[in-house]
Amino acid sequence: MTTEETILEPDLPIIDPHHHLWDLRPVIPAFPEPLHPFLETVAGAAHYTFDQLQADTQSGHRIIGTVFMECGAFYDPSRGEDMKVVGEVEFVRGVAAQGSSGLYGPYRPCAGIVGHADLRLGASAGAVLDALAEAGGPRFKGIRHAGAWDADPDVLGPAFHHPEGLYRDAAFREGFAELGKRGLSFDAWVLEPQLGDVIDLAKAFPNQPIVLDHCGTPLGSACYAGKLDEHFERWRGSIRELAGCENVVVKLGGLAMSFCGMPADGPTDGVPSQALAEMWRPYIETCIEAFGPDRSMFESNYPVDRWGGSYATLWNAFKHLASGASEEEKHALFAGTAARTYGIEHLLELT
């Protein structure tokens, strides 16, 4: 069932600081069986292109620009194992150039590009970062090296499992130090039980900008099914401690991922935005209270969060959650924080 909703506050400027572009059609058949439920999400959007992003971002909300987030797309194996990641940034730079032509409307897709480099290369990761920066030009802003891990293999499935304790690894931290030398940002994706690793990393590198993705990914699937309430206070305590690190900002979203269980079943276009907002309210309000609007930004995490609803529905849910905020606070939550964090303040001129 598809639910058509009236777009709330259609004139509110939005910078979407977290979306993907990919073609997973050749990859999904190689994933181990049985497929993780997450793949039901991408199976319906296994080919998420600029055209599809264009359709979503033009579905009623006033999206003035976006930030691309790495997702293993279009790697170039001819460059070698360490450098193949450069292919993704080259691909996205082309998409950004299409958008900046103005032929597709006034918004600027992929105005910021976050790529990937294996920081376990230690100091040698610097050469990869330099190659990424050359490929992305001024749009290249930083990297994400995901660290999501859980002892229960069913939480993530083998396709999305990263090494345990990655952010505490000495070689990783040697590579992490290369970011600061180049003024680059770092996006961190971990699961709720791992938030201590991000806290430790942020304290060890107090001058390095870190973005916590997806509210820290509270878990409500596999062995965590039905336990969101049980672990909420642990999650909230970690969020409050992390907010004490002034170098960290938080992305408000990702809660529609299958890992979180909000909603438990998907993909769906049948859950109204108001219902999604009520599911997510304890997490979103806790993050905003802890970090403040100037260090918080709403994100679509599309097409992954298609699990919870359409692009238009997700942004309606965020607007329900921000309904009590001042105009200044809304500006920060929906555009200002993202613009400052990723160095794309010029997009605010489009408002």
What is the distance between the alpha carbons of residues 219 and 260, in angstroms, rounded to a whole number?
A: 4
Are 179 and 141 spatial neighbours (Cβ–Cβ below 8 Å)?
no
| CA distances to 93, 122, 163, 304 from 77, in Å | 18, 21, 23, 25
State mean pLDDT over 186-192: 98
The reported pTM is: 0.96
- Residue 351 confidence (pLDDT): 78
State mean pLDDT over 89-106: 94
Query: Is 60 exceeded by the pLDDT of residue 334?
Result: yes
State mean pLDDT over 199-212: 98
State mean pLDDT over 114-143: 98
- Residue 47 confidence (pLDDT): 85
State mean pLDDT over 202-222: 98
Are 212 and 251 spatial neighbours (Cβ–Cβ below 8 Å)?
yes
State mean pLDDT over 200-229: 97
| Number of Cβ within a 10 Å radius of residue 206 | 11
State mean pLDDT over 308-320: 97
Length of the chain: 351
Report DSSP state, residue 62: E
Lowest mean pLDDT segment, chosen from 40-44, 193-197, 253-257, 272-276: 40-44
> What is the rounded average pLDDT for all residues in the chain?
94
Q: Between 22 and 35, name the one with better pLDDT.
A: 22
State mean pLDDT over 44-49: 83
Query: Is 70 exceeded by the pLDDT of residue 2?
Result: no
- Residue 3 confidence (pLDDT): 57
State mean pLDDT over 263-284: 93
State mean pLDDT over 295-310: 96
Query: Is 70 exceeded by the pLDDT of residue 159?
Result: no
Nearest to 261 by CA among 1, 42, 37: 37
| Number of Cβ within a 10 Å radius of residue 280 | 25
Query: Is 80 exceeded by the pLDDT of residue 294?
Result: yes
Collapsing DSSP states into helix, strand and coil, what is residue 208? coil
* Element containing residue 69 per DSSP (H, E): strand 62-69
Report DSSP state, residue 152: S
- pLDDT tens-digit series, residues 227-258: 999 999 999 999 999 999 999 999 999 999 99
- Residue 20 confidence (pLDDT): 97
What is the distance between the alpha carbons of residues 129 and 45, in angstroms, rounded to a whole number?
A: 29
Please give the torsion angle defined by the CA atoms of residues 189, 192, 193 and 197, in that order, rounded to the nearest 10 degrees.
40
Collapsing DSSP states into helix, strand and coil, what is residue 162? coil
β pairing state of 22-23 and 47-48: antiparallel
Q: Is 79 exposed, middle or buried (0-12, 13-18, 19+ CB in 10 A)?
A: middle
Please give the torsion angle defined by the CA atoms of residues 267, 296, 113 and 214, in that order, rounded to the nearest 10 degrees.
-30
Q: What are phi and psi of 112, to 5 degrees?
A: -120, 140
- Residue 40 confidence (pLDDT): 66
- Residue 4 confidence (pLDDT): 81
Strands in 71-137 per DSSP E: 108-115
| CA distances to 15, 112, 341 from 345, in Å | 10, 11, 9
What is the distance between the alpha carbons of residues 349 and 351, in angstroms, rounded to a whole number?
A: 5
Nearest to 157 by CA among 238, 222, 249, 251: 222
CATH for the stretch 13-344: 3.20.20.140
Please provide the DSSP assignment of 278-322 as one string. HHHHHHHHHHHHHH-GGGEEE---BTGGGGT--HHHHHHHHHHHT
- Residue 42 confidence (pLDDT): 67
- Residue 46 confidence (pLDDT): 82
